[in-house]
Amino acid sequence: MVKAQPIAIDLFSGAGGFGLGFEMAGFSVPLSVEIDAWACDTLRYNHPNMMVIQQDIRELNTANSIKDIFIFQPDVVIGGPPCQGFSIAGPAQKDPKDPRNSLFLNFAQWISFLQPTAFVMENVKGLLSRKNIEGIKVIDIIKKTFEEVGYFVEVWLINAAEYGVPQIRERIFIVGNKKGKKLGIPPKTHSLDLSNVNSIQLSMIDTISLHPALTLWDAISDLPPLKTSEGVEEQPYISQAQNDYQRWIRHDSQTLYNHVAMEHSARLVERFKHIKWGESSSDVPKEHRARRRNGNGEISETSYDQNNRRLNPYKPSHTIAASFYANFIHPFQHRNLTAREGARIQSFPDNYRFLGKKTVVSHKLSRTT
């Protein structure tokens, strides 16, 4: 049997964004491994011919248990091991003994067993500065691990906004290949200097103009306006696409999925009205702040700077994670983002439908990046 397409397999696949990108690039992605139930439901719905294994990858830890899954040798193995132990979000001091820090070893184990031509592992920028309990840089440990199983390893720091995604999302990509050749970071296509649409990337071989970075409003301006609790899981479009990004992301879809607003109390909506672009719940007048739980209506003195930040429509979005639904406010409407708006910002096409509880992409939100 002739292999028609190069094959990639997706580990720690989440809802499937990484694998979807490889499919768009011409790869076949016949297998995904993911522990989250809702993410697996989403994968199976959108990829009916894909083998989706809902299991802890640490339980698939022998050569036979891995190799018995495949008909063909994969050309590329991709994945993004959970990253809280490395992330710069949350508490400044991470636990170097956090077991999630070592899940890359399970990824490396698959690489060692399968020996693909290449692998791509994605993680948070904070990984570059993290050290283990002995004070050794984690990134150096990771590079050495892959080098010892026969790979030439590069580490790329990439901002998605500089490649046509409408959000500021810095991630590192650990890229290995068995040919021993340096690939180099892909040339940027978009400029973050929105004041100069003719920004030039002088480092490219041929001097060409970059496109201006896409903004939040470029991504979502055509979606139906919603008030709290409005929207349905399947609805028609009510307007035409307004730019090339929207035409591309509609992907010939005839139905708009997952555009449902969360239910907010009248008090929360009133609080949202006092939050301007770039501000968050911590910036509202005291009388509109959250009340203490079991505090007889007293105003809470605790505020969280990252909670309910109103996004600026004319800039790329802040980083969107699976828990985005409670992190950000629509730039003009007094509500949190819908799952579809979050998907638009992450560049999922409109025909990619998310299953599970409405407005939530992941069941275990603690496993997001």
Catalytic sites, residue numbers: 83
Q: Point out which residues pair with 190 in neighbouring strands.
A: 211
> What's the token pair of residue 145?
């691990």
Instruction: Please name the residues in contact with 100: beta carbons below 8 A apart, sequence gap of 6 or more.
Output: 81, 82, 83, 84, 85
For the chain, list the strands marked E by DSSP: 7-11, 28-34, 51-54, 76-79, 118-124, 152-159, 170-177, 190-191, 211-212, 231-235, 256-260, 309-310, 328-329
Distance CA 167, CA 245 (A): 13
Closest CA to 211 of 131, 295, 337, 316: 316
Q: What is the DSSP letter of 304?
A: -
Identity of the amino acid at 233: E
| Cα–Cα distance list, 335 to 54, 228, 266, 316, 320 (Å) | 33, 6, 11, 19, 16
> What's the token pair of residue 88?
């710069």
